[in-house]
Structure 1
Amino acid sequence: MSYRTQVITVFGGSGFIGRHLIRRLARSGAQIRIATRNPGKATFLKTAGAVGQIVPFATDCTKDESVARAVQGADIVINLLGVLYERGSQSFQGVHVDAAARIARLAAANGVNRLIQISAIGADANSPSSYARSKAAGEQAVLSAFPAATILRPSIVFGPEDNFFNKFAAMAQKAPALPLIGGGKTRFQPVYVGNLADAVVAALESDDSRGKTYELGGPRVYSFRELLELTQKDIQRHRPLVTIPWNIAESLAGFLEKVPVLAPALTRDQVALLRQDNVVSPTALGFKDLGITELATCEVILPTYLSRFIVGGKYNSLTGNAH
């Protein structure tokens, strides 16, 4: 399907997932609006398309009139907005529920044809995690306003700018040990950001995806311990993995989330989230239902960007013995 004559508005398009998705959408020739609070931070994406094809669009998702301007005349709306922790005005309720509901409601009111909502595996109204509950509430709000919306729930997303492998690789550079919260038994099914972008495009190309929810995980399930071991292997570091019991992790997170830094190292809500496996349900629709069968593995992709954490660089012959 060609989007050459269509207008696509992408909320949160300048973020990690957005920058990969925008490049794929631009190949189709569509006109793309990147709806963002700070258009200046999205200007780097203009080079992904022809002159004038990609336009950063100043949008305040707390205001109806601002969101309405962003979706007016659009054929497709994609919502990538999400936060991993709460800081100031960036709350789970405000971003995952209120903003999502507003986008869906105004997309419907303006005659938008397709709406894609990026959620997360683990979205559950009964979860002990506020993050997971807000994701579930956001899904419900979107479908209430726009019943034909397609919901995509990825597991943890990895790629050059991810907040998971990069975080632990940086930690392994400086910390004497890495934490295994709850013993490191929590299971994950990491999905490559490029494959997630492919899934968005595939969903748009399929009318059958309207009103459906897909859970998207990579080709392999790993324990938290295995992911930390894989990270250390790729950056040629060998830090001991120390088990942190759940109660101690919660106490530590309670302290760390109060430290006045931009991104807390750990929050109590993240500890609650870690108590649940983050893998695709056996009965859920997934990549295969979108026609995608070739998925990138962590073993292939991680070395392409974690090499920057290797002492002396990946071509340094002495790095194999780094400690």
Structure 2
Amino acid sequence: MLSAKASLVHAQRAAIRQSKRAYHDLVVPSEKKPVVSAGPPGRSAVSGHVATVFGCTGFLGRYLVHKLAKTGTQVIVPYRDEDEKRHLKVMGDLGQVVPLEWDIRNDNQTAECVRHSDIVYNLVGRDYETKNFGFEEIHVTGPQRMAHIARESGVPRFIHVSHLNASPNSSSIFYRTKFEGENAVRDVFPDATIVRPGPMYGYEDKLLQNMAVWPIWWKLNNAATKIRPVHVMDVAQALANLERMDALPQIMSLPGPSTHTYAYLLELISTLTYNAPSGAPTLPKSLVLAAAGLLQRALFWPTLSPDEIERRYIDDVGADRDKKFSGDWDVVGIHPDEIERHAIAYVRRYRSAVNYARPIVLPARPVCRLKSCSFLLSRDYIW
């Protein structure tokens, strides 16, 4: 039986051995920035990596910061508004989440954000144009300047998040500028990695939340538009996994595992919330475009823009059910989840007070209005 003093000495020596740096802890992503890990795995570890996440205050950004910080990576979080980055501070251990004020037009601030990093993520994007920022500046010139400054600062890896439907011939300005942004980044940073996720859903998404509140705007094109929704947690984990890879791919497509129509998703939400399906009629495209353009000019707060309406008529890449398109998930070792497994967590808030705690007992195989609800009913879950 060891004495208390001997046990303490033994524990201290074990801690020293555990945190001691060795050759196998050394990773060199470039000749200029060696990465040395230390400490036990987890939130309080030091992975040795320093990552900058532009767009960290957005939907995908907050989850990526969490994934990186909890593994001991020091994360630089550039922000525009003081209040927008407060929730990010607690995602990492003390000193691991470093906020820096940043303006996309200020090259000096951009250089300050990336000068210590060995990997830079660009998640900056905009669904609609404003009087201060247009699609061209946010999706093309802005990322190009970030990539150029990162290259000049000696950053070895630059990851640019685009969109699954990025195309030079798209009828949507959003998708066209996303494609132009990819080329602009590759022109100044040839080794950059382009990531193309599908439409993402989660707690703060603009997919399920918007469908539950404004189903009429998702009935355009008779709600027949096909999309490949993907869980934001899966995309964030895929981006975080790229940090630990030696050789990064040039282009990665990350679509959802299944193809769904807007009609299917509207019916799924109705089934989970116990709210009657919307009886709103399908409005003609010309009328909705005219109304959206008028509202956008008359109001100062964001409304449904004409380009967003145009996107409601465009099928996602690989959405054809007759073609197998699984994307590049195997590169990062992730199997994406189906939307039916998580939808209840994000739409339960739209239930009435009477039905809020009402369970859906799947083993009893309850009556489901969805024709393609076999996945939902085949799992032994109780919600």
Same topology, TM > 0.5: yes
Residue-by-residue CA offset, 1:207-264 (whole Å, 9 max, x unaligned): 3324x11111111110121122222222221122522233233223223323414221
1:51 maps to 94
Q: Partners of 1:231 and 1:278 in 2: how far apart?
A: 21
Query: Match of 1:257, SS?
Result: helix
Post-superposition shift, 1:185?
1.4
Matched, 1:204 2:204: no
2:284 maps to 245
1:292 maps to 334
2:232 maps to 193
2:350 maps to 309
AA aligned to 2:99 is: P
Unaligned runs of at least 5 residues, structure 1: 318-323
2:163 maps to 120
Alignment of 1:125-136 (within 5 A): 125-136=168-179
Select 1:216's aligned residue among 232, 239, 254. Answer: 254
8 Å CA contact retained: 2:162, 2:195: yes
Post-superposition shift, 1:274?
2.4
Instruction: Pick closer, same or farther for the CA change 1:109–1:39 going to 2, 3 Å.
Output: farther
8 Å CA contact retained: 1:124, 1:135: yes
2:270 maps to 232
| Moved beyond 6 Å, runs of 4+ | none
8 Å CA contact retained: 2:198, 2:230: yes
Post-superposition shift, 1:202?
2.4
Unaligned runs of at least 5 residues, structure 2: 1-26, 28-36, 38-45, 360-383
Select 2:194's aligned residue among 147, 151, 163. Answer: 151
Q: Partners of 1:86 and 1:209 in 2: how far apart?
A: 32
8 Å CA contact retained: 1:213, 1:285: no
Q: Partners of 1:247 and 1:286 in 2: how far apart?
A: 37
Query: Match of 2:132, SS?
Result: coil
1:320 maps to none
Select 2:73's aligned residue among 30, 54, 69. Answer: 30
AA aligned to 2:349 is: R
Select 1:77's aligned residue among 117, 120, 125. Answer: 120
8 Å CA contact retained: 1:93, 1:134: yes
8 Å CA contact retained: 1:129, 1:273: yes
Q: What is the RMSD computed on CA atoms of the aligned residues?
A: 2.1
- Structure 2 length normalisation: TM-score? 0.76
8 Å CA contact retained: 1:10, 1:80: yes
Q: Partners of 1:274 and 1:38 in 2: how far apart?
A: 31
8 Å CA contact retained: 1:155, 1:280: no
Equivalent pairs, count: 311
AA aligned to 1:206 is: M
8 Å CA contact retained: 2:172, 2:310: yes
Select 1:41's aligned residue among 58, 69, 84. Answer: 84
Query: Match of 1:86, SS?
Result: coil
Query: Match of 2:237, SS?
Result: helix
Q: Partners of 1:280 and 1:33 in 2: how far apart?
A: 35
Overall identity of the aligned pairs, in %: 31
2:17 maps to none
Name whichever of 107-116 and 266-275 sits farther off: 266-275
Select 1:270's aligned residue among 288, 308, 316. Answer: 308
- Structure 1 length normalisation: TM-score? 0.90
2:222 maps to 183
Query: Match of 2:222, SS?
Result: coil
Query: Match of 2:308, SS?
Result: helix
8 Å CA contact retained: 1:221, 1:279: no
8 Å CA contact retained: 1:154, 1:191: yes
